[in-house]
Homo-oligomer: A and B are copies of this chain.
Amino acid sequence: MSPHALNVFIVHAHPEPTSFNAALRSTAVHTLESLGHRVAVSDLYAMHFNPVVSRGDFTTVHNPDRFNVTLEQRHAVAHGGLAADIAEELAKLQRADLLILQFPLWWFGLPAILKGWIDRVFLSGVVYNRTSLYEQGKLKGKRAMACVTTGGPAGAFGPDSLNGDIRDILAPLHRGVLAFTGMTVLPPFVNYHVPYEGEASRLAMLARYRSHLVRFDTLEALPMPKMADHLAQFKETIRAKAQ
């Protein structure tokens, strides 16, 4: 293992084991392992991962009368009350130096099984708290990257295009999940028009993905807001509301 070996964690969300998403996932595993990194994979469909936040997320109960997700999360974290599946995913997330989310773009967003992985595993008090957001988020030091497939062609996802810029479509994930918790967000690797592409085009996509991964260390991170730049406004709002 090289001294620069990283822990990579790929969270994979596609129902078909022979899908192009699976080929991208395997490409990432082989490429990153061949560079000397350790790679863990959570294949959410294969794991039958449950994406629905509920009281079943916890073995502890903070308030039996009213289920407040955030408060139950914080209580469970403080009292060792996380369900086993959440604890396992959280451990993998905390070990990771680089998180890769592998998914098809469904309805301009994440497949529900992946959205629910975030809803359940990104626990309040562990990955953020009210004063630890963005550059102060608790996952700082980690990098994150989305690898996405779309049905629509590239031309439908550019600036001023029919669907709008793919960066805007991915912004809630990039900004509101990854940067929000302190992670450095790498440029996404987007594969367009996948269902309508032939073998040669798909192989070219995999080759481009290999190149993207080999140089991921040199990719310029996406610009993200800093809490420090908004602190005055943020505090003022909280104060105004509290009166």
Mark A residues whose CB is within 8 Å of B.
Answer: 15-16, 18-19, 45, 51-55, 66-70, 106-113, 115-116, 118-119, 122, 133-134, 151, 153-156, 161-164, 168-169, 171-173, 175-177, 180, 193, 195-197, 225, 227, 230, 233-234, 236-238, 240-242
CA distance in complex: A51, B50 (Å): 9
Q: Is the CB of A112 within 8 A of B109?
A: no
Complex-state Cα separation, A230 to B163, whole angstroms:
10
**Which residue, of A151, A172, A193, has the highest number of chain B Cβ atoms within 10 A?**
A172
Interface contact B177-A162, CB-CB below 8 Å: no
Taking a contact as CB atoms under 8 Å apart, the answer to whether A111 and B119 are in contact is yes
A232 → chain B closest CB, angstroms: 10
A108 engages B175 (CB within 8 Å) = yes
CB pair A196 B241 closer than 8 Å: yes
Q: Select which of B134, B195, B197, B234 is within 8 A of A155 by beta carbon.
A: B234
- List, in ascending order, chain B residues with CB within 8 A of A115's CB: 107, 109-112, 115-116
Among B151, B176, B242, the residue within 8 A (CB) of A108 is B176
